[in-house]
């Protein structure tokens, strides 16, 4: 951005008022930004110009605090958390920053006086979709909480030019459209062209003697690119602390001399530039089958290498010698995507900074902590040794060396047990040799954690059992959380106002345990009436928006039954679909006397290469088509698939939900965070004992939670005993009738084959035991409907859900990490 700098004292004074928080200052700065940055008068400005001016006006107010924070952290040598994550699913910035600055009301008034449509301006923002789902959103919630909890932190990741694809629904099928979030500019980031690091690939390694006669290794790469920093300030709520989100963009290397490398080959040189830039071009959708993964390994090395070089630079510039690196920094690995860090830090310390193996290893192991996010075997990252060697020959040497040291230790502990050695090795030797990234992360970290109590137990007893036997003290649990700023204050202002009124203060926004005060008002008919009204208003808003987005009209009085999350077999959207088919058949057969009207609402993207997930989307839309157009039932049930579920559209969904579907097969969902967002907004949960559902149920009370289905233990036993879905299909005539109806062609204009891949899979394999949980689910849904009839009781349960969600604030999670894992104290920055 190129605004003139204030130099004279008078200008400095103006500068100060220009970024003041008064309504007058906001109005003036808005008009200035509209004119000087967008080059527009108020009268002719397009909606996007107005948004940009509003964004710059807001950003101007962050910068003061940002600079002050950076200065303070530097002079205090504050211990700093680095959150390394391949994904940050941030959501729109504007409304969130206004809330954290505490100027939403003033900004709305300023907008009114300038005759602006405030909501339309917010709507203009295109979110940075730099993540797939829960994992990336967790990183974003953590960034918000790190700042709010005043923990000095840097988030490191990749500035993908194309984030997660936009989803359109055409003829009931998912169609992927490329995400172009940068097309109209990104007012929240500040490019740092001077913060640039070389990233090396390929080539070979050599031994040499340094000037002290020491034998050392040198990597002679065959190509290199640059990573350039783009910084986004992350402000905490009601504090002066601003942390940094630093995302790396790949560019052709500066030292990569086009002239020398490609004499006279101009087009070749341009091609090299394009090649370099592909590295940060696109986010990989997860759940993809093996294919074209080489770029992903390049991406991982790219952001890990830039981030660690940046940390080393910061350390050398402030604290000094690298033997204190692990005192200054602690780095959290968000899943194994940044696990190369372990090898890369070893390389940088030894090869570039002449540290010995032992010192480098000590530093590395004190620096990293690792969060595991999944037990699903297909989601555990491994890289073929051949690919690893071709791209990162020096790292492979280091991995082998780490493995040699480690396995010697294992052999000493388990004398003669080579089976143990084989299981723990960094290299999987069965079939094609592969590097196990999770093992690298565990061995190279001082702490390993799961993301919910059940998940952390399963991590210890199954996935990492051998490691747990070796180092029990290394294993922790930190149950995930979500930020109440975005997921209550920003997205559900009516509920936020109600909570503040009821509690007599708004401290709950920074200390969510304080919402427990609602409990003592749960019986108040006054509160209940207001509670119901707030929910109804949110449902009306959502219904209006869905009508315009999909053409489907919903009755706001109907129960809004919502399942919004990535589409995956383990999350079992098809179980939900079977229940809808059951409701439909019962209505058609006149089996229900006085139905409770429901709106079944779905949202979620399927990975582009995940055929069954895409077929599930088609099935939901096909069922919707029939039901919504059948006048015999459509007064009682409607089905709608909301296209393009992301943070922004999600914010419309959570406040409007009555029922939250959290129905994964027990043992498969590590934590879930959608479950927390819904419950915080007063939806009741129908769910299995999976992930954080277990803890949510404990917190809100079993009488305020609709539990069904097998436990993780039941699932394990059933799998051991040989699960036969066929028996369930033939043993339950309603289940059979539902599956048969799908196969009949009713939902596919007579095509009896369309859904066969899905139904055949259920009947013959059913890897996620949909059929085994079907009956329990249908019965539980019946209890839900009966409960909904008693609105007073339902509202009371809803109030108690919100009142007891304090634990699920990401602030609590961050405080646990800071205390139990990172050993970091808050560094408050005054306002
Ligand atoms: C919270 C969130 C998720 C995670 O939902 P789960 O139900 O925990 O899988 C995924 N995508 C978006 C856009 C979210 O906001």
The pLDDT of residue 377 is 84
**Burial letters 740-750, b for 16+ CB under 10 A, else e:** ebbbeebbbee
Using the atom order of ligand 1, give the atom closest to the CA of residue 645: 13
Ligand 1 atom 7: the closest Cα is on which residue?
Answer: 674
The pLDDT of residue 288 is 61
Q: What Å distances lie between residue 170 and 167, 338, 615, 618, 655, CA to CA? A: 10, 36, 13, 9, 27
The pLDDT of residue 265 is 74
- Whether 797 has a pLDDT exceeding 90, the answer reads yes
**Spacing, Cα 567 to ligand 1 middle (Å):** 11
Say whether 255 sits in a helix, a strand or coil: coil
Q: What string of DSSP letters covers 787-822?
A: HHH-HHHHHHHHHHHHHT-GGGBHHHHHHHIIIIII
Q: Which residues contact 24 (CB under 8 A, 6 or more apart)?
A: none
Domains of the chain: which residue ranges? 77-92+127-480, 485-808
Ligand 1 atom 11: the closest Cα is on which residue?
Answer: 133
- Whether 545 has a pLDDT exceeding 60, the answer reads yes
Question: d(Cα 157, Cα 204) in Å, to the nearest integer?
Answer: 27
Question: d(Cα 670, Cα 691) in Å, to the nearest integer?
Answer: 5
- Whether 700 has a pLDDT exceeding 90, the answer reads yes
When the candidates are 3.30.160.100, 3.30.70.260, 3.90.550.10, 3.40.50.2000, the CATH number that belongs to 77-92+127-480 is 3.40.50.2000
pLDDT in tens, 26-75: 999 999 999 999 999 989 999 999 999 999 999 999 998 999 999 999 99
Q: What string of DSSP letters covers 642-699?
A: ESS-SHHHHHHHGGG-SEEEE-PPTTT-S--SHHHHHHHTTPEEEE-S-TTHHHHHHH
Using the atom order of ligand 1, give the atom closest to the CA of residue 691: 8
**48 counts as catalytic:** no
pLDDT band at 1 (very low <50, low <70, confident <90, very high): very low
Using the atom order of ligand 1, give the atom closest to the CA of residue 564: 7
**Spacing, Cα 245 to ligand 1 middle (Å):** 21
The pLDDT of residue 17 is 66
Percent residues over pLDDT 90 in the chain: 91
**Spacing, Cα 137 to ligand 1 middle (Å):** 7
The pLDDT of residue 378 is 83
pLDDT in tens, 481-531: 999 999 999 999 999 999 999 999 999 999 999 999 999 999 999 999 999
Give the tokens for residue 171: 């003829």
Question: d(Cα 802, Cα 519) in Å, to the nearest integer?
Answer: 9
**Spacing, Cα 825 to ligand 1 middle (Å):** 30
- Whether 597 has a pLDDT exceeding 90, the answer reads yes
What is the sign, positive or negative, of the torsion defined by CA atoms of 24, 185, 247, 652? positive
- Whether 3 has a pLDDT exceeding 50, the answer reads no
pLDDT in tens, 610-659: 999 999 999 999 999 999 999 999 999 999 999 999 999 999 999 999 99
pLDDT band at 5 (very low <50, low <70, confident <90, very high): very low
Ligand 1 atom 8: the closest Cα is on which residue?
Answer: 672
State which H helix or E strand residue 156 sits in. strand 153-158
- Whether 290 has a pLDDT exceeding 60, the answer reads no
Question: d(Cα 799, Cα 521) in Å, to the nearest integer?
Answer: 9
**Spacing, Cα 436 to ligand 1 middle (Å):** 27
pLDDT band at 6 (very low <50, low <70, confident <90, very high): very low
Q: Which residues contact 36 (CB under 8 A, 6 or more apart)?
A: 3
User: Are residues 156 and 80 in contact, defined by beta-carbon separation less than 8 angstroms?
Assistant: no
The pLDDT of residue 2 is 39
pLDDT in tens, 310-319: 999 999 999 8
**566 counts as catalytic:** yes
The pLDDT of residue 379 is 83
**Spacing, Cα 565 to ligand 1 middle (Å):** 5
Ligand 1 pocket: which of 573, 674, 688 to mutate (most atoms within 8 A of CB):
674
- Whether 280 has a pLDDT exceeding 60, the answer reads yes
Give the other-Cβ count within 10 Å of 489's Cβ: 24
Give the burial class of 404: count Cβ atoms within 10 A of its Cβ; 0-12 exposed, 13-18 middle, 19 or more buried. Answer: exposed
Name the residue with tokens 């696990």. Answer: 339
Task: Catalogue the long-range contacts made by 56-59 (C-beta closer than 8 Å, 24 or more residues apart).
Answer: 56/1, 56/187, 57/26, 57/29, 57/30, 57/33, 58/94, 58/97, 58/98, 58/101, 58/107, 59/97, 59/187, 59/188, 59/233
The pLDDT of residue 444 is 98
State which H helix or E strand residue 602 sits in. strand 598-603
Ligand 1 pocket: which of 127, 132, 133, 567 to mutate (most atoms within 8 A of CB):
133
pLDDT in tens, 257-271: 555 555 667 777 778
The pLDDT of residue 255 is 62
**618 counts as catalytic:** no
- Whether 192 has a pLDDT exceeding 90, the answer reads yes
Ligand 1 pocket: which of 566, 660, 662 to mutate (most atoms within 8 A of CB):
566
User: Are residues 132 and 283 in contact, defined by beta-carbon separation less than 8 angstroms?
Assistant: yes
**Spacing, Cα 694 to ligand 1 middle (Å):** 18
User: Which among 27, 571, 648, 804 is annotated as catalytic?
Assistant: 571
**373 counts as catalytic:** yes
Question: d(Cα 397, Cα 16) in Å, to the nearest integer?
Answer: 55
**677 counts as catalytic:** yes
Ligand 1 atom 5: the closest Cα is on which residue?
Answer: 674
- Across the range 215-220, mean pLDDT stands at 94
Do the domains at 77-92+127-480 and 485-808 have one common CATH topology? Answer: yes
User: Which among 301, 373, 395, 568 is annotated as catalytic?
Assistant: 373
- Average pLDDT score, the chain: 95
**Spacing, Cα 477 to ligand 1 middle (Å):** 20
Please give the CATH number for the structural domain made up of 485-808.
3.40.50.2000
Using the atom order of ligand 1, give the atom closest to the CA of residue 676: 8
Name the residue with tokens 């107010």. Answer: 61
Question: d(Cα 256, Cα 399) in Å, to the nearest integer?
Answer: 28
Question: d(Cα 412, Cα 230) in Å, to the nearest integer?
Answer: 47
pLDDT in tens, 335-361: 999 999 999 999 999 999 999 999 999
User: Which among 27, 65, 677, 796 is annotated as catalytic?
Assistant: 677
**485 counts as catalytic:** no
User: Are residues 632 and 467 in contact, defined by beta-carbon separation less than 8 angstroms?
Assistant: no
- The DSSP symbol for 460 reads I
User: Which among 58, 367, 673, 688 is annotated as catalytic?
Assistant: 673
State which H helix or E strand residue 331 sits in. strand 329-334
Ligand 1 atom 9: the closest Cα is on which residue?
Answer: 565
Ligand 1 atom 4: the closest Cα is on which residue?
Answer: 134
- Across the range 730-741, mean pLDDT stands at 98
Percent residues over pLDDT 70 in the chain: 96
**Spacing, Cα 433 to ligand 1 middle (Å):** 34
Ligand 1 pocket: which of 134, 573, 651 to mutate (most atoms within 8 A of CB):
134
- Whether 181 has a pLDDT exceeding 60, the answer reads yes
pTM: 0.96
The pLDDT of residue 16 is 52
| Residues flanking ligand 1, CB < 6 Å | 133-134, 137, 565-566, 645-647, 650, 672-674, 677
pLDDT in tens, 431-447: 899 999 999 999 999 99
User: Which among 535, 566, 638, 648 is annotated as catalytic?
Assistant: 566
**Spacing, Cα 808 to ligand 1 middle (Å):** 15
């Amino acid at each position: 951005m190129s605004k003139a700098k204030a130099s004279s004292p008078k200008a400095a004074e103006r500068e100060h008022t220009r970024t003041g928080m008064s309504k007058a200052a906001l109005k003036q700065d808005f008009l200035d930004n509209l004119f000087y940055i967008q080059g527009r008068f108020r009268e002719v400005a397009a909606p996007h110009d107005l948004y940009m001016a509003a964004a710059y006006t807001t950003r101007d107010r962050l910068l003061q605090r940002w600079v002050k924070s950076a200065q303070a952290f530097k002079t205090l040598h504050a211990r700093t958390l680095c959150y390394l994550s391949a994904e940050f699913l941030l959501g729109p910035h504007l409304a969130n920053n206004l809330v954290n600055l505490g100027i939403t009301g003033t900004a709305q008034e300023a907008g009114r006086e300038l005759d602006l449509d405030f909501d339309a301006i917010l709507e203009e923002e295109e979110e940075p979709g730099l993540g797939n789902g829960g994992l990336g959103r967790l990183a974003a919630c953590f960034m918000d909480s790190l700042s709010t909890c005043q923990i000095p932190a840097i988030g490191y990741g990749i500035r993908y030019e194309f984030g997660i694809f936009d989803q359109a629904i055409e003829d009931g099928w998912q169609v992927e459209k490329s995400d172009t979030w940068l097309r109209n500019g990104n007012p929240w980031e500040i490019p740092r062209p001077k913060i640039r690091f070389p990233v090396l690939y390929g080539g070979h390694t050599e031994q040499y003697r340094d000037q002290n006669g020491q034998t050392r290794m040198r990597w002679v790469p065959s190509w290199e690119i640059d990573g350039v920093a783009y910084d986004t300030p992350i402000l905490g709520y009601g504090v002066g602390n601003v942390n940094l989100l630093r995302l790396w963009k790949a560019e052709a290397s500066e030292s990569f001399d086009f002239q020398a490398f490609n004499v006279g080959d101009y087009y070749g040189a341009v091609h090299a530039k394009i090649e370099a830039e592909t590295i940060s071009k696109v986010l990989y959708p997860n759940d993809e089958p093996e294919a074209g993964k080489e770029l992903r390994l390049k991406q991982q090395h790219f952001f890990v290498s830039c981030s660690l070089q940046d940390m080393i630079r910061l350390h050398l510039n402030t604290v000094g010698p690298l033997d204190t690196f692990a005192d200054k920094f602690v780095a959290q690995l968000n899943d194994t995507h940044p696990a190369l860090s372990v090898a890369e830090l070893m390389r940088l310390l030894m090869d570039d900074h002449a540290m010995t193996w032992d010192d480098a290893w000590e530093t590395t192991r004190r620096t990293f902590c690792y969060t595991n996010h999944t037990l699903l075997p297909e989601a555990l990252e491994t890289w073929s040794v051949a690919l690893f060697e071709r791209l990162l020959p020096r790292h492979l040497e280091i991995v082998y060396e780490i493995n040699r040291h480690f396995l010697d230790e294992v052999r000493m502990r388990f004398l003669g047990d080579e089976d143990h050695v084989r299981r723990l090795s960094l290299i999987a030797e069965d079939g094609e040799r592969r590097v196990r990234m999770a093992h690298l992360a565990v061995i190279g970290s001082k702490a390993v954690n799961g993301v919910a109590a059940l998940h952390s137990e399963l991590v210890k007893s199954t996935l990492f059992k051998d490691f747990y036997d070796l180092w029990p003290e290394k294993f922790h649990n930190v149950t995930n959380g979500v930020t109440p700023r975005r997921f209550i204050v920003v997205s559900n202002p009516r509920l936020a106002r109600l909570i503040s009124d009821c509690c007599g203060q708004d401290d709950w926004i920074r200390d969510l345990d304080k919402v427990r005060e609602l409990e003592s008002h749960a019986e108040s008919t006054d509160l209940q009436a207001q509670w119901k009204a707030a929910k109804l208003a949110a449902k009306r808003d959502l219904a209006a928006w869905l009508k315009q987005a999909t053409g489907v009209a919903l009755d706001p009085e109907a129960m809004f039954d919502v399942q919004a999350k990535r589409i995956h077999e383990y999350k079992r959207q098809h179980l939900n679909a079977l229940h809808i088919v059951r409701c439909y058949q019962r209505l058609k057969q006149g089996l229900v006397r006085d139905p409770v009207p429901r709106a079944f609402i779905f949202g979620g993207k399927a990975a582009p290469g995940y055929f069954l997930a895409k077929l599930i989307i088609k099935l939901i839309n096909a069922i919707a088509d029939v039901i919504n157009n059948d006048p015999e039932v459509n007064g009682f049930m409607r089905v709608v698939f909301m296209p393009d579920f992301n943070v922004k559209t999600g914010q419309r969904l959570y406040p409007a939900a009555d029922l939250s579907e959290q129905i994964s097969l027990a043992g498969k969902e590590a934590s879930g965070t959608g479950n927390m967002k819904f419950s915080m907004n007063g939806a009741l949960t129908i769910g299995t004992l999976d992930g954080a559902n277990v803890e949510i149920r404990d917190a809100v009370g079993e009488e305020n939670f609709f539990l069904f289905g097998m436990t993780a233990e039941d699932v394990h036993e059933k799998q051991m005993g040989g699960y036969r879905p066929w028996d369930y299909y033939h043993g339950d005539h309603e289940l059979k009738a539902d599956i048969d109806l799908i196969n009949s062609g009713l939902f596919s204009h007579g095509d009896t084959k369309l859904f066969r891949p899905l139904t055949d899979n259920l009947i013959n394999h059913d890897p996620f035991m949909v059929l085994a949980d079907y009956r329990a689910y249908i019965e539980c849904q019946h209890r839900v409907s009966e409960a909904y009839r008693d609105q007073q009781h339902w509202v009371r349960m809803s109030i108690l859900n919100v009142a007891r969600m304090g634990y699920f604030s990401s602030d609590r999670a961050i405080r646990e990490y800071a205390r139990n894992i990172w050993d970091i104290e808050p560094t408050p920055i005054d306002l």
